[in-house]
Structure 1
Amino acid sequence: MSSTRANELELSALGKKVEYKQDYAPEVLESFTNKHPDNDYWVRFHCPEFTSLCPITGQPDFATLYIDYIPGERMVESKSLKLYLFSFRSHGAFHEDCVNIIMKDLIKLMDPKYIEVLGDFTPRGGISILPYANYGRPGTKFEELAKQRLFNHPSPR
């Protein structure tokens, strides 16, 4: 069996009709084997239509999310990521919580060498919030990268 076909067997959402979850659903996330685990390279997801709910008012919050990571042995499958992010649409969580929850769920899923998540939330009440969270695998050069990027964290503006 080819390695491409073996990777396809690991995935259940790709290429199939799926149900959109109406509340936070980390169980929809899927990963597949990284074909180049010895290479250090960046993967970026640009998600311009992220939506969650304010846990106090129930009002919708809109953001562009940037998810950047350096994969280890596993990678997140993009359709499952889309379904996962969609599951926040009816979920009440503060902006900072969303960013940290997403990062932690992706760490649990794929154990990346490095990951960072930045949320560029649209203004409500005249204030924009841009929470940023990152992680570098402990005991590696990526732990140091996480410290450096946190103290000099990037902003899309």
Structure 2
Amino acid sequence: MSQQEEMKNLTLLGSKETPYIFEYSPQVLESFDNRHADNDYFIKFNCPEFTSLCPITGQPDFASIYISYIPDQLCVESKSLKLYLFSYRNHGDFHENCINTIGKDLVELLNPRYLEVWGKFTPRGGISIDPYYNYGRPKTKYENMAEQRLFNHDLYPENIDNR
């Protein structure tokens, strides 16, 4: 497949008129063909400026979101992912729901071999919440991988000095 064919369905990358949507919008996500589907490899995204709203108080919640996945046939286009995460800016939901929804939306878009989403929210009211979601394709080694990573994902918590 040529690079031009690969990019034919990407509407946001390179656009000079990027629409910024201020409410949860999964339809903004785009994907492209993985030219290396014969390899297992991780793709990792770090979003240190994620913002959503508390559904009760309307106060802003801030987080760093970490997304890692092993693609199969599709990869998420990074600008569309940025705009998708930005669409949470005025969305009121609990931290746990945001992280699970992000994970499920990406699984629906990509059908990856493996995917995980970890949100590290700054404290509000003296407590921080760090929800973790993962997915491993059923009936494959990735399902076992997901189970093991879920059991062990926080065995060695990092030193938290910025929250």
- Fold-level similarity (TM above 0.5): yes
Higher strand share: 1
Partner of 1:7: 6
Distance between the aligned counterparts of 1:79 and 1:39, measured in 2?
A: 24
Tell me how far apart the structure 2 counterparts of residues 144 and 136 of structure 1 sit (CA, whole Å): 7
Partners of 2:158 and 2:65 lie apart in 1 by 10
Provide the secondary structure at the position in 2 that maps to 1:58: coil
Equivalent position SS for 2:62: strand
Match of 1:105 in 2: 105
Q: State the partner residue of 1:29.
A: 29
Could you say what the CA RMSD is over the residues aligned between the two structures, in angstroms?
1.0
Query: Counterpart amino acid of 1:70?
Result: I
- Give the TM-score of the pair, scaled to structure 1: 0.97
Give the fraction of aligned pairs with identical amino acids, expressed as a percent.
62
Unaligned segments of structure 1, at least 5 residues: none
How far is 1:66 from its partner? 0.2
Q: Is the 8 A contact 1:23 1:88 kept in 2?
A: yes
Give 1:76 deviation, angstroms: 0.3
Distance change (3 Å), C-alpha of 1:4 and 1:156: farther
Q: Give the unaligned 5+ runs of structure 2.
A: none
Tell me the TM-score normalised to structure 2 length: 0.93
Q: Distance in 2 between matches of 1:156 and 1:112?
A: 27
Count of paired positions: 156
C-alpha distance in 1 between matches for 2:32 and 2:158: 29
Shift of 1:73: 0.3
Q: Which amino acid aligns with 2:105?
A: D
Superposition pairs of residues 34-113 of structure 1, within 5 angstroms: 34-113=34-113
Say which SS state the counterpart of residue 107 (structure 1) adopts.
helix
Q: Give the AA of the match of 1:148.
A: Q
Within 1, Cα distance between the matches of 2:152 and 2:43?
20
Q: Distance in 2 between matches of 1:22 and 1:65?
A: 18
